Structure 1
Amino acid sequence: MFCKSKKKRNKNKKDKRGKGKMLQKLNFRPFVIGVIGTIASGKDSVSNYLVKRYGFKKIVMSNFLRAEARKRKIKPTRDNLRKLQAELRKNFGEDYLVNKAIEMIKTKDHMSMRNVVIDGLRTTVDVELVKKELEAKIILVDADPFVRFMRAKKRGRKGDSTTYEQFLHQEAIESATFNFHKTFKMADFKIDNSGSLEEMEKQVDKIMKEMRKKKEKEKVKKEKSKR
């Protein structure tokens, strides 16, 4: 299930289930991981490693937000995107953005969405819905605040803080806006990404092994119950 990513199967081999069938029409559920975390903690690094090492397909929540910002001709700074997200949730419901991700997974060709990582879940509603609708497992990524500030400064995204004090203030605003305190408590696993990339990858590998073992146990238990 969580094998290292391989090349696509021989195109000449026919898929007996039919290429055009969508997930809703199948007795099939992709394996979904949701990634949550603090600013510049390495959420992208974790999700990108899942793509590279385990062959996951990646859905980035902020892409839906950036698309909306382009429509409205709003500069995609961190502060502007935060305000836009709060506005969309207020006007169209707390589940507006997460439902876009869920809909994408449920309507994509099932073979192309077998393993999916959703990067950028923010609120308790986001997490609750992906757990309920997709049985997703949630990974929380965090790191030392100053380490995260230095990473944010290095990547130089529009709207990122230029001083440590600004960084802490920005984080406090986002935490209050999206109630991170409650959201983070809903995680199934946690990664401390204060160290090197290699250390982070080892933690991801460990989590994937735990998930695989649990999945295998559940499968055996289910088979026994059918006898």
Structure 2
Amino acid sequence: MIIGITGPNGSGKGEVANYLKSKGFIYFSLSDVVRQETQKSNLSLTRENLIKTGREIRKERGDGFFAKQIISELKDNSVVDSIRNPSEVEVLKQMGNFVLLGVNAPVGVRFKRSKKRGRVGDGSTVEEFVKLEEEENRGIGQDPIETLKMSNFLIINDKTVDHLHIQIDKILDFIQNEKSTNN
């Protein structure tokens, strides 16, 4: 099975991916592809530059470009992080056996996590964090809200890491049970 992960900043996508890696999943990130493309342009890896590069490339090469870059490397038990565009979901669905996991949390929780993470450009106040998020949702390329709506499963990650892991395990069990029932 190939599991895609989508969700807003600070929702816990990375923790979901790390947990799946600990269960033997092979990790891929569409953001890594964007980072590589940004570095090719000799730009610093700021959030602003990553968004700008991502938008430019999606405009030039199509919305599903980043997913197409990794598709040949995907195998069973892969996890694909940082899916931010519905076309990327459509590309990955072509692989078959693809499940999109949405991860979300209240904005206050996500802001606290982003502050703790300390990434440049995440916003220093809740208001700034929300404004940056709204800007990301506008324009060409990214459409995280519509992408989140495409999720097969949605995790509300507003409790402990252990609780998050329990939710992931329940989803994995459900998928395995569905798979066995349909075979």
Q: Out of 64, 73, 78, which is 1:95 matched to?
A: 64
Deviation of 1:66 after TM superposition, in Å, equals 0.9
Runs of 4+ deviating beyond 3 Å = none
Q: Out of 170, 177, 180, which is 1:213 matched to?
A: 177
Deviation of 1:179 after TM superposition, in Å, equals 2.5
What is the letter of the counterpart of residue 176 of structure 2? R
What is the letter of the counterpart of residue 183 of structure 1? T
1:158 is paired with a residue of what secondary structure? coil
What is the letter of the counterpart of residue 48 of structure 1? N
State which structure, 1 or 2, has the greater radius of gyration over its C-alpha atoms: 1
Superposed counterparts of 1:134-145, under 5 Å: 134-145=96-107
Aligned residues: 181
The reply to whether residue 73 of structure 1 matches residue 42 of structure 2 is yes
Deviation of 1:72 after TM superposition, in Å, equals 1.3
Supply the RMSD in Å over aligned alpha carbons: 1.1
Deviations 1:81-120 (A, max 9, x none): 0111000001111121110121222xxxxxxx33100001
Deviations 1:16-43 (A, max 9, x none): xxxxxxxxxxxxxxx1000000111010
Partner in structure 2 of residue 159 of structure 1: 121
Please tell me whether the aligned partners of residues 157 and 164 of structure 2 are also in contact (alpha carbons under 8 angstroms): yes
1:170 and 1:164 map into 2 onto residues whose CA distance is 10
2:41 and 2:143 map into 1 onto residues whose CA distance is 26
2:77 and 2:174 map into 1 onto residues whose CA distance is 16
2:138 is paired with a residue of what secondary structure? helix
1:74 and 1:65 map into 2 onto residues whose CA distance is 12
1:114 is paired with a residue of what secondary structure? coil
Partner in structure 2 of residue 4 of structure 1: none
Q: Out of 91, 95, 98, which is 1:133 matched to?
A: 95
* Range that drifts further, 93-102 or 198-207: 93-102
Superposed counterparts of 1:106-117, under 5 Å: 113-117=75-79
What is the letter of the counterpart of residue 48 of structure 2? D
Bigger RCO of structures 1 and 2 (CA < 8 A, at least 6 apart)? 2
1:92 and 1:65 map into 2 onto residues whose CA distance is 13
Please tell me whether the aligned partners of residues 76 and 158 of structure 1 are also in contact (alpha carbons under 8 angstroms): no
What is the letter of the counterpart of residue 199 of structure 1? H
TM-score by length of 1: 0.77
1:217 is paired with a residue of what secondary structure? helix
What is the letter of the counterpart of residue 65 of structure 2? Y
1:75 is paired with a residue of what secondary structure? coil
Deviation of 1:180 after TM superposition, in Å, equals 2.5
Please tell me whether the aligned partners of residues 69 and 75 of structure 1 are also in contact (alpha carbons under 8 angstroms): yes
1:41 is paired with a residue of what secondary structure? coil
Percent identical residues: 34
Deviations 1:130-158 (A, max 9, x none): 11234310000000101100110111112
Partner in structure 2 of residue 25 of structure 1: none
